[in-house]
């Protein structure tokens, strides 16, 4: 399995529209409506949401193959 280096770990909550970013490992960030969150910084991508379709993934990778 190929490991892609993360440049920015972000997502947008479709429920409130806020874009949130996890900047470092174990940096658990919630949106303003508290329905969606992102974690992992540049080490890994982990998110939570009521449904996967409730978020837009904005994570950027070093290889630009987003």
pLDDT digits (tens, 9 = 90+) for 10-54: 999 999 999 999 999 999 999 999 999 999 999 999 999 999 999
In a domain, 66, yes or no: no
15: in domain: yes
Does residue 19 belong to any structural domain of this protein? yes
Structure tokens at 14: 């479709």
Instruction: Report angle CA 8, 39, 30 to the nearest 5 degrees.
Output: 105
**4 Cβ contact list (under 8 Å, min separation 6):** 61, 62, 63, 65
Confidence grade of residue 65 (pLDDT, cut at 50, 70, 90): low
Domain count within the chain: 1
Q: State which residues form the domain around 57.
A: 6-61
Banded model confidence at residue 63, pLDDT cuts 50, 70, 90: confident
> Cα–Cα distance between 29 and 23 in angstroms, integer?
9
Q: Which residue has the higher pLDDT, 35 or 63?
A: 35
Domain contains 1:
no
Whether 16 is in a domain gets the answer yes
pLDDT at 66: 52
User: Whole-model pTM?
Assistant: 0.87
Greatest extent of the chain over all pairs of C-alpha atoms, in Å: 35
């Amino acid at each position: 399995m190929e490991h892609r280096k993360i440049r920015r770990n972000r997502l947008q909550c479709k429920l409130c529209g806020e874009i949130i970013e996890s900047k470092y490992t174990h940096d658990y960030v919630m949106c303003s409506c508290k329905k969606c969150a992102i974690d992992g910084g540049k080490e890994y991508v982990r998110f939570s949401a009521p449904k996967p379709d409730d978020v837009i993934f904005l994570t950027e990778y070093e290889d630009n193959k987003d």
